[in-house]
Structure 1
Amino acid sequence: MAALIKSQTSSKASIEKSYENFKKSPKDRLAKTSYLQTRLDILEEQWTLVTETHRKLSMEGSDAIFETKYFKEDIFSSIEEIYILYKSDLKDALSLLTPAASLPNEAAKNESNVNLPKISIPIFSGMYNEWPTFRDMYVSLIHTNASLDNVQNMHYLKGHLSGEAAQLLRHVPITAASYQDSWLLLNNRYNNKKYLTNGLLKRFINQPNIGTESCSAIKEMLDLTNDTINGLKNLGINVDTWDVIIIYIISTKLDSESRKQWEAKISAVDELPTLNQMREFLESKFRSLEFLDGKQRLKPNFSNHKPKAMHATATVSNVTLESCIFCKQNHRLSNYKEFAKTNYDARFNFVQTNGLCFNCLGSKHSSKVCRSHKKCHICKHKHHSLLHPNPKPTSGPCSSDSQKSLLVSEVNAMVSNVKASLDSSESASNFTSHFSKETAPNQILLATALVESRARNGYTHLFRALLDQGSQASFVTESAVQLLGLRKIPNKSIISGLGGDNTSVMASKYIVMMDIQSRHDPSFQVSVRAHVLGAITSLLPSEKVLNFDWPELNNITLADPQFHIPSKIDILLGADIYGDLIREGLIKGPRGMPTAQNTALGWILSGPTHQGKSIQSQSAHCHHNLIVSSHFHNDDNELLKKFWEIENYFFDTKILTKEEQLCEDLYEQTTRRDASGRYIVRLPFREDDPKCKYGNSREIAIKRFQLLEKRLKKDAELKNKYSEVIHEYLDLGHMVRISDDDKRKHVSVYLPHHAVIREDKSTTKVRVVFDALCKGNNGISLNDTLMIGPKLQQDLRHIILKWRMHPICLSADIVKMYRQIIVAEEDVDFQRLVWRDSPESEMEEYRLERVTFGTASAPYLAVKTLQRLAIDEGSAYPLVAEKVKKDYYVDDLLT
C-alpha cells in the first residue's frame, strides 16, 4: 500500500515538473508538431499509470487505507486537475499548428466558417473485410495529405490500429524512415485480393433463407447484394456479366410467396432478367411490406375465420411466427406435438444444445431477459412446462414427481383451511383468463389512475395504478421498487386466489412502504404498505377502446386521461387503501357505458364500453379476493415446512448456462489422477487458442517485480517472510524453475505477484498473491480467457444454520487446498513468474504447477475436485463422502 501511494506522489511530481518545463519551452520547439505530440503521448502514459494505481488502492478494501493522507487530501483529484490543464494546453498548441486550407477568393473563405462534422477514421483491427474501408479513408485523409510529414503519418497510422494489426507494428519506432515500410507491410498483409474476394462471396452466398414475407429480411438481402457488388467492383473485378448467377442465388433464398411474384414478373418475356430488375423488384417488395406493416400497427387486422365457441385461444394478431427449429416448419416449437412427446432429457438437451430460451422456447435470447410473463404451469417457476424436471424414479410406492404434486395439493388445501384464522398482511393478486367467443361487443374497463411517488433521490415519478376494492392488500412491481429505491422488508407470504387449485397459489418475498400523491390535489398524500411482485397484470385495457363517446367526460378531471390506451400497471391499490381515496360524486352513464366515481386521485372509470364491432377474442381480467399469509401461527408449522420443501426441490435442479455446461464437460473429459492418486486438471479456457498468451506479459511481470523489489528492500522483515513463502513453493514442488530451452517457448503467460499482509491471521501473515487480472499489451488478461464454472456449493448461511443444529460441532480446513491439485503439463506455461533472491542475482523464471490462487477458475477447480474425490472414494467412506458434499464451504468444514 505504501509503495502504491509513493508511486502516486512520484507521478504527481513528475507531471507537475513536465508541465512547468512545457510552459518554459522556447517558441521554436512549440512550433513543431512532433515535439508537442511526443509530450502528449508521454502524458497519456503517465495518466494511465496513475489511474491504474488509484484503482488498486481503492480496491485494497481496508479502513486504514482511507485514513491515509492520499485519500484525506484527495491527491488523485489534484493529479487529475494538473493532467486536464496540461493536456488542454498541449491540444491548444497543436491546433494552432494545423494548416488551414487556402481558398481562392473571399466568398469561399466565408463559406469555410461553417462547422462541418468531424471526419473520423475507423479503427482497423486486422479483419480482412474491414481493410478496404480503412484503407480508402486513411489514404484520402492522411496518406496523401501533403501538409503532414511522415512522423505525423506514423502517429496517425499506429493510433488507428488495434488487435492483430497493432501487434504487427508494435515494435516499429515512430520515425519518418519507418512510415513507408510500415504502410507497405500492412498493404502486403491485408490488401490480399483473394482473401477479400472470398470473404465478400462467402458472406453473400451464406446469407440465410427467408422463411416468410418480411420487409426487414428483404431489405437486408438487397443491402447485402449491393454491398457485395460494390465491394467486388472496388477490388477491380468485372461483375457486368454476373447478373444471371447473382439473380439465381437471390431467388433461391427468397420466401415462396416472393419467389412466385418474381417468376410471374419475368415470365412475360423470354429474355434473361437483369440485376437491375431484381433490385427494383426487391425495392418495391420491401416498401410495400413496410406500408402494410405500418397499417397493421395502426389498426389490427383480424382474419375472417370464426373460432369454435368457447375454444381456448390467444388474442389473434397477424404476427410472423419464427420457424420451428425442431422440424423447420412454420410454427412455434412450444406448439409442436412431436417435440412434446419426447422424454424430458431429450427436450432439455435439445433446448440447451440449440441455445434456446428455457422459458418460452424462443431463440436469440435467454430466460434471464425473456419478456414472456408465462411460467411453468406445474411449479410457477420461470421455465417452460415442457422443461419441468421429471424426478428420477424411486423404489417407493410412488415417484418423486407424484410426491411433489401431492405436496402441492396438500399446501393448497392447508392454505384454504387457515384463511379464516389469519388477520394480518392481507394481500391481493390478479389473474388473466383468456377465452374466445363468437362475438364480443363490449370491452370492460377497470378503474385506473395516474399517481405520483417520490424516490429516495428526491425525484418524483409517475405510475399507473389499478384501484381494486376486491383485493384485500396492495401490490407494487419490482421495477417500480427499483426505480424509487425503496427498502425491501423480507416478508414471505403465500397468496391464494380463485378455486384454491395449484394455479392460484403465488408467493411474495418482500413488502415496501411507499407514499403516493394525487396529481390533482397536492395536499393529498397517503402511505401504502405494498407486497412486491414481478408483475401485477398484463396491459390494461387489453385492447384500445375505440369510438368512445360520452359527453359527461368533458366536464370532469379524469384520474387516468389515457384510460382507453393499453398500458402497464405498476401499482395495485386494494381495499386497505380504497376507502381513503373515495370522494363524494358518482356519474352513471347509459346502459352499456362505464360508471365514473370521484376520488382523491381524480375521476375513475369502470364498467363496459360499447365497441360496436365483432372481434375474435377477448381478455377478461378478473381480480379475485385473496388472502396473504405473512406470518404463521403454531398450527401452521406443517404448512411452512411443506412450502419450503417445494422451494428446496427446485434449488436442486439448477439449469446450467451454456458456458457452465461447457466448463463441466471439459472437467469431466480432461481430469485424471496420477500414480499417487492426486488429481490433474486442465485450465478451462473459453477458446482453444487463448489470446492472453500474445500480450507480451513477461515485460510487464518484470517491471512489476522490480517495483516489488524496491518495496522489499525497504522492509527487511517483509522480504524475509516473502522469500520464505517463495522457497516453500519450491521445496514442496509447487513451483519449478524453467530451463533455458523452455524460456524460448512462445506460448506463455507471466503473472505479476505481490505481498498481502494479514495481521489478523495467526498462521500465515504474509501471502503471495498472483495477479491473473493483469492485462497484456493487447488488453487481455489470463482471467479474461478462463471460465469461472458454475456454483457448486450451498450458500454459507445454509451451512452455518445446519451447523448450529448439532449439539457438538466440528470445524476444520484443508491445508493449501488449491495447491493440492496439479495443473496439466499443457497449461502450466500460462502460470509463469519471475523471481530472484536479491537485486544482484540474475532474474530467474519459474512456473506454477498447481492450481493458483488468483486465477478465475481456481475456486471452481478446487471445489469440483473435492466433490469428485467424494464420488470416487465414496463407496469406501460413505459417511465422509456425504459430509464432503454437504458440509464444506470451499476449504472449511462445518459439521
Structure 2
Amino acid sequence: MEGQINILKDLQQVIQKAFTNFKKCPKDRLTVEYIQTRLELLENDWSSFKNTKSQLYGRFKLEDIGQKVVDIYDTTEDTYISCKCLMKSTLNSVREPLPQDSGCSNNSSKQSNSFVKLPKITIPTFSGKYSEWTSFHDLFISLVHNNASLDNVQKLHYLKSHLTGEAEQLIRHTPITDANYRECWSQLEKRYANKKYLTSCILKRMFGQKRLHVESANSLKELLDTTSDCLNALKNLKIDVSTWDVIVIHIVTFKLDNETRKQWELSVSNDSSNELPTFEQFRIFIESRFRALECIEPRKDVAHQINNSSHVLSSKAMLATKSSNIRCEFCSELHKLCFCKQFAKQSIENRREFVAKNKICFNCLGGNHTVYDCKKQNVCRVCKKRHHSLLHPNREPNAENKGQDSTVKSTIDNASSSNSDNQIVTCLSTGKVLKPRQVLLATALIKAESKIGEFQTIRALLDQGSQACFITEATVQFLRLKKIPVRGHVSGLGDNKSTIANYMVNLIIKSTVDLDFQLQINAYVLSKITSYLPERSVNTSSLDWIDINGLCLADPYFKTPNKIDILLGADAYCCIMKEGVVKSPSGTLIAQNTTLGWILSGVVSSSNESSKHHTRNLSVHCTQFNEDNILKKFWEIEEQVSTRKLLNPEEQKCEEFYMKTTKRDDTGRYIVRLPFRDEDPACKAGSSRDIAETRFKSLEKRLNKDTYLKEKYTEVINEYLQLGHMRPVKEEDNKKDEAVYLPHHAVIRNDKTTTKVRVVFNASEKNKKGVSLNDTLMVGPTLQADLRHTILRWRVHAIGIVADIIKMYRQVRIADEDAVFQRILWRESPEKPLRDCELVTVTFGTASAPYQAVRSLHQVAYDEGDKYLLAADRVLNSFYMDDLMMGSNSVEEGVEICKQMVALLGKGGFALQKWNSNNRQLLDRISSIYTNEVVQQTGQIKIKNENTENKDKEDIGVKEKEIDNKEIEIKLDSTIKILGLTWNRHEDGFQYSVNLPPLTTAPVTKRLIISDIARLFDPLGW
C-alpha cells in the first residue's frame, strides 16, 4: 500500500510541475503542436493516477487507506482541471483559422489535428509555354475555377496575377469585371489547350532521346524518368497508352547501351510463358540495373563523366542561346532581362520581387536556373557579392542617409558551441562618408611571448565593445603558438554567419611602457581582423598638445597606416585601464592612460584635405547576453518530453495491419499475418521453386563434403519439424505454382555457446519476375530504443540482470494462409526425393521478422501487463531484440522482477535462458525460485550455477533455462558483435574480448599482422 501511495504522490508532483511549467512557458513556444503534445502528456499522467487509485481501493480496505489518499486525489484533480482548462483556452487563442482563399478546400472550416504543418499550396505562374499549360490548368481549375466561395471578379484577379509574358499580354487590357472572367478563361483555353501540339511535343521528347553509348547509372535514370514522365503526360491528355507497352519498349531499348540491352534480352528470354514483356517489367529491370551500377561505378569516373557532360551541355546551351530568340521575362521583347530598360526603371523592391516570383537567377538574371546553379562568376559592382548589380538593395540613394553603404565584417560566437546563448561579439563595417575627416581607433604596441619564451613586438587594437580577443593567423605562425581546436561561427550584424574560427591560442602579453605589467589572455584565431589602421596618414600639425602634456603614447606610430596583429577585447581592456583622460583643444580627440601607455581615439583631420570624397572604415561594437534563453532552457530540461515516435505512412499502415490481423491461440501464442504492401503481392507465381531447387542442390554438394556440418544442419531442420515450427506440404497441394520458395544456407558461429550452426532463409532471392518476398513486405517501424540508451538505462541500477529469449522469432506463429509464402525444399540425402515444407513461424531472413517478433513481445505487455506492473514496463524498454538487460536496486526487488518477467513472458509463449547478474545473492535466489515456484507455471528448469552442489536441481523438463556465470556478450543482433565488447559481471565493467589465433612457426610478417587485425574486427565475427 505504501508503494502505491508513493506512486500517487509522484504523479501528483508531475501534474503540478506540468501546470507550473506551462504557465511559465514563453509565448513564442506556444504553438498548436506544442500545446496538443502537453495535453496528451497530461491526459496520460491523469489516467495513470486514476488507475493507481483504483488499484489501491481494489486491494485494500477503505478504513486502512485513510483520509490521506482522498486529500491527494482532491488536490490533484483540482490541479488537473485547472491545467487542462488553461491549455485548452491557450490552444483556442493560438490556433489559426484555415485561410479562405483559393488555396483552401471546401472543408476549410474544419480544424486540422495533424502534428505536421503542411506548406501552403501555391499556383504557379503561366508564361505562355505550351508545356506548362496542363499543370497550370489543372491546378487553377481545382483551386480557383471550381471554388464556389469565390466570385468571378476574384477569380479574374487571381488569373491575371498568375500570368506573365505572352499569356499576360493576351488579357492585359481586359477590365476586371464579373462578365469578363469567362471570356478571359475561354481565350486562354482556346489559345493553349492545343491537344495536338502538346501531344506532338511529348512524343518528340520521348522518342527523341539520345542513345546511350556506355553503361551509366545517371543516363539510365534519365532515360527511364523521361519515358515515364512522357507517358504520364499523355495520360493527363486523356490518351489511352495502356496498349503501347510493346511499342514503347521496342523504341526505348534501341536507346540503351549494348550491354544493358543484352541483359534485358536475356532476362526476357528466361520467361518460358512466351508472353510479351510489359513496361512495368522494363521499368523494374532498368531500376535494378542503375542501382547496381551506382554501387560499382568509381566515384572519379562518375565525377569525370559529370564534368564532361556538363561541359558539353553548357557548350550546347551557349550555341542554342545564340541561335534562338531570347525573350525578356518582363516586357516580352527580344532581349535579355539584364538589358531591359523598363525593368531598370522599376524600384529595387519591385525588381527583387519580380526576380524571386519568376524564379530567375539573382546572379546573371537568367531564367533557366537558380543562383545556386549559376556558372557565371559575375559579382555585384557595388558590394562585390553574388547578385546582379540591378538587384543591389542600396543602389538607390536614401534621402535621409545619402551615400552610406555599410557591410558587416565579422562576429564570433562562443567558441565552445555554435548555439551558445552567451555570444561573444565584435563587429567591423565599411562605409562611404563625404566629409574629409577620419576616426582614429585606439592602438598600442605590446610584447607577446613566443613558443621559445622570447617576447616579440606586435600591434594591438583595443576594443572595449568586444567580449573576446582575436589574433591573426600570421601572428600565430610568427610566434609559433600552439593552436587549440575550437568551433566558433564568425558572423555579422543580424547574425549573418560568414566565417568560422577553428582554433584559439593562449599567450602572455607585456607592456612596452610598464615592464612589471603582464597579462595572460585567450585569443581566437582569424585569418584577418581588419584592414590597415589608420586608413591614411594623419596630419600631425594639430597634435602639438600631446607633446605639451608629455604623454608617453602606447603606439608612437599611430599616424602611419599599418596592420593589426591582435584585438584586445573587454576582458583585457578592463585590466589595462588607469586613471587619466586628456582631451584635445577641439574636444574631438582624447588620450586615455593605460598600462600600455596613452592611447588615442577620436576624430582627426587627414593629410589629404583636398579630397572631396573618401572611403573609411567604421567600427561598430556590440555585445549580446541573452538570459531569457538560458532560463528557457532550464525549464526545458526540467519538463517532460514525449518520446513517442512519429510513424511514416508505410509504418503506420504496417502497425494498423498488425492490430487488425493478429490473433492468439489456445496457449496464448500470437499468430500474425505477413504485412504485404499490396493485397495481391507480386512475388507470387514467379517460378521461385526452380531457383530454390538449384540453390538447394548446391547446398547439398557442400554438406556432402563436410560430414559434421551436414549432421548439425540436419539436426536443425529436424528440430524445426519436431517442434512444429515447420510442416511438410501435402502431396495433393495445388499451390506450387503460386507459392514462394526460399533458398536456405548454413551460417557457422563457433563463438556461440548454444547454436553453433544456424539455418538462414534468403527471402531476398528474386524470382524469375525479378521480385523477391522481401520486396513486397513492409518492414515496419523500429520499436526498440537505441542500443547505447538501453545499456545506459540498464547500468543505472546497482544490480544488473541479463537474460535472453529462447528462439524468439520462432515463438510467434504465422497464419496458415500465409505459410504458402515461406516454403523450402529439403531432403536428408540425395537418394531421397525432395520434400516441400512450410515454415509456420516468423522466419529469420524476412524483412518483417524483427518488427513482428518485437511487436508481439510488446503486445504481451499490453495484454497482460496490468497483472505484472514491475515487468510490463521493462518488457517495453529493457529488451534489445531477444536480449533482456534490466536492473534493480535491491535483491528483493530483483527477485520480484524476475518472477514477474518469467510469468508475463510465459503468457505469450516466450521463455528466458542464460540468466546472469553481478550479484551472487540474487543468482542464488533466482535458482531457488526456479526450483520451488516457477516450475509450477512453466515446467521444470535446468539450472547451471557454479556455487550450487545440489544435483537434484539439474532436472531437465519441458523448457530449459540456464544461469550462466560466464561474461555476457552484448550483441547488436543475433549475429553481429560490437567490436567484441563484453560485460564482466564480477568487476561490473565493460571490456574488449580479443581472441587472437596462436602464433605459428612461420615468421611474423606485416601481412600476417594485418590478417589477424582484419579477422579480429570482422563485422560478422567470423
Normalising by structure 1, report the TM-score: 0.40
Larger Rg over CA atoms: 2
Normalising by structure 2, report the TM-score: 0.36
